[in-house]
Amino acid sequence: MMNYKFNTWIQSGEQAKEISSKGYELLRAGNQSYSGQTIGYILYCHYIKGASFNVINRENKSMPANIIKGILTGTYSPKTFNAFMELAEAETETLEGIYSDVKEEGESIG
């Protein structure tokens, strides 16, 4: 019989940040090209951090501009967009926990 320890880092044994079910829904959403985490991070930069389309586009040379525009308007992946907006309204601290230490300033997202 195995003893699984959920939400615990294997090497250090420290407790990991718990993410709500809505947070997991956001991370699992997405499409065949980009994960929910990547799309959610672009939305986080724009709607929470206030980064403009031009800044996001400049930092992500590997992602086409029309895809970024579609992500920001919610037409590219509506399921991910809606999951993000639900979290932004109800559980902003969950978004901060997921994305606050994901990328550093100037690092590419895509």
Give the model's pLDDT for residue 98: 84
Q: How far apart are CA 56 and CA 54, in angstroms?
A: 6
Mean pLDDT of 84-90: 93
Mean pLDDT of 33-50: 92
Residue type, 78: P
Residue showing tokens 């718990």: 18
Contact 44, 80 (CB under 8 A): no
CA angle 55, 53, 109 (to 5 degrees): 60
Contacting residues for 90 by C-beta, under 8 A, at least 6 apart: 22
Predicted TM-score (pTM) of the model is: 0.79
Q: How far apart are CA 30 and CA 40, in angstroms?
A: 9
Q: What is the pLDDT of residues 4-31, one digit of tens each?
A: 666 676 777 777 777 888 888 888 888 8
Give the model's pLDDT for residue 15: 76
Give the model's pLDDT for residue 5: 63
